[in-house]
Structure 1
């Protein structure tokens, strides 16, 4: 059994897959519930059985301090350079990371999308960090689905609409590009945000540049978005990301773009507007469009664990470094 533990904005998502990669269980721990985070190993034992876990993968924050998949015991500072601008502090995600690290479960840590990844096209190395490793995990899950459905389709665009609006490009099975401009919670800082950070601090600058904080809304509203105008902005942000990657797909993909996968909880929303259907209709002329299921980031992380256990030299082009021995071997 392989387990993926995904540290995302709204919660800690955990999934397990069997040797064939089929999802067997998935659940979520609210990031605001540190007590549940403390009990993560008990929850895993009840749902999966700790002794049945051959290998686990953990994602955390930006994951920008590592550029290889590494054993959790070899990763400093939970795999991040720092948490400046993220406002994560040491909450439930850090607690889960530490509990798993201190356990007997063999575990690897997945890097995020950042400039030190050799697999990225040089254009995308302008920013030091683009996305957390949960996005890499979700793209790994998309690769599994498309290979099964389209007979080894390895070039696709993955687009997510959730707390963030992001899109990644996989060409010939490798992560080649990534765009992230603005979403409901996260956004890249503009001069106003930088000035405010200089006057106060930069602890939560990325958390103050999204659509919700810019309109004065409380970030807790991310759990129940209902403003049609916000969804309109999310639509355009998603389309910007997809179409910005499309020329790179045509340039780098050996056989063109095989598919587009739409991910994230907002893509599954029907009210106040059917966002996913609108994006689908706008993208279907480019390539076949498919929708990802919930928990794809955690499931993808579990698939990464399976890849590593089976001796893969890389996952989406990201090298496999010094990893622990798989349980049971």
Structure 2
């Protein structure tokens, strides 16, 4: 049996093929938006498309659906609007349409939002959006890898999102626009709100420069931002050092905040290109040292989004009707 998972991320679209041996690959957003690469052609180089039993994909905010849904039953790619979703390049849209038209059996994973039944009603009341769909995939991968039913999963990369899992169900999450900083995205503060009101920048433009980039003063292409901040940090830049320290502080605050509203946490799982980073900067250890008082801290690789999607595809194909509290249509 062959299962494929896709993670629609900020810097690119990642795939995992679960067959005899796992295969991972990523296509950069700039390549996709320029029309230089076909996602299906790249996938077909690694697996016979006709052998795929089921593919599970994510797209944008995933706020237009609340169940894991066959792609042919999804309207408007499973979103309410593309607005407010960070930098828009169109690359992910072309991948979605390619997959839908391919005939490969495919399901779409929803995001976490105010209409997600398994979420605590207080989270649903407080936040219209809590996390994009790949966070469901990441949480499922963490659940399978650790066996934990009560945990906090923090995905830290271009943005930072922490997810609360209680009794094997996703109960809450803090999205980047209201919670911790990532490399690119972060919460909107008062100065940004004033800039928006004064017409200096759109809310989405502010959101896309509210992470570590804001502190480091970096202004480059999204795909290069992380490497630029790391380069500056290693060269002794005070701005880059402060950017990393500030980002880590907000992540620690977020994890402790989620701990404060639940009775039991058996583990904390870090992932993402930043959350799992140990070299050249040991950001994993920085966070671990400040939260291990809560529970043991572990990590899963930054491929967890596409891996988790593929694992969801396998679970659904074999008859699972519930993934961490999210129903399968």
Bucket of the pairwise TM-score, normalised by the shorter protein: 0.7 to 0.9
How many Å separate the matches in 2 of 1:172 and 1:287?
16
> Which of residues 284, 300, 315 is equivalent to 1:292?
300
Q: Deviations over 1:231-282 (max 9, x none)?
A: 11121111111111113331xxxxx322111111113334563110121222
How many Å separate the matches in 2 of 1:261 and 1:87?
25
Q: Which residue of 1 aligns with 2:253?
A: 240
Q: Which residue of 2 aligns with 1:172?
A: 167
- Report matched runs for 1:10-159 at 5 Å: 10-18=11-19, 24-34=22-32, 38-125=37-124, 126-147=126-147, 153-159=148-154
Given that 1:63 and 1:111 are in contact with CA atoms closer than 8 Å, whether structure 2 keeps it comes out as: yes
Q: Which residue of 2 aligns with 1:222?
A: 225
Given that 2:142 and 2:300 are in contact with CA atoms closer than 8 Å, whether structure 1 keeps it comes out as: yes
Given that 2:215 and 2:243 are in contact with CA atoms closer than 8 Å, whether structure 1 keeps it comes out as: no
SS at structure 1 position matched to 2:24: strand
1:4, CA displacement in angstroms?
A: 0.6
Q: Which residue of 1 aligns with 2:320?
A: 312
Given that 1:38 and 1:96 are in contact with CA atoms closer than 8 Å, whether structure 2 keeps it comes out as: no
After superposition, the Cα gap between the structure-2 partners of 1:160 and 1:208, relative to the gap in structure 1 and judged at 3 Å, is: same
Indicate yes or no: 2:310 matched with 1:302: yes
Under a length normalisation based on structure 1, what TM-score does the superposition of the two structures give? Answer: 0.87
SS at structure 1 position matched to 2:119: coil
Given that 1:183 and 1:237 are in contact with CA atoms closer than 8 Å, whether structure 2 keeps it comes out as: no
How many Å separate the matches in 2 of 1:3 and 1:65?
23
Unpaired runs of 5+ residues, structure 1, are 148-152, 251-255, 322-329
Unpaired runs of 5+ residues, structure 2, are 231-239
After superposition, the Cα gap between the structure-2 partners of 1:36 and 1:138, relative to the gap in structure 1 and judged at 3 Å, is: farther
After superposition, the Cα gap between the structure-2 partners of 1:90 and 1:273, relative to the gap in structure 1 and judged at 3 Å, is: closer
Q: Deviations over 1:277-318 (max 9, x none)?
A: 121222223212111113100000111111211221211111
Structure with higher RCO (Cα < 8 A, 6+ apart): 1
How many Å separate the matches in 2 of 1:109 and 1:173?
21
How many Å separate the matches in 2 of 1:293 and 1:161?
11
Alignment root-mean-square deviation, CA = 2.0
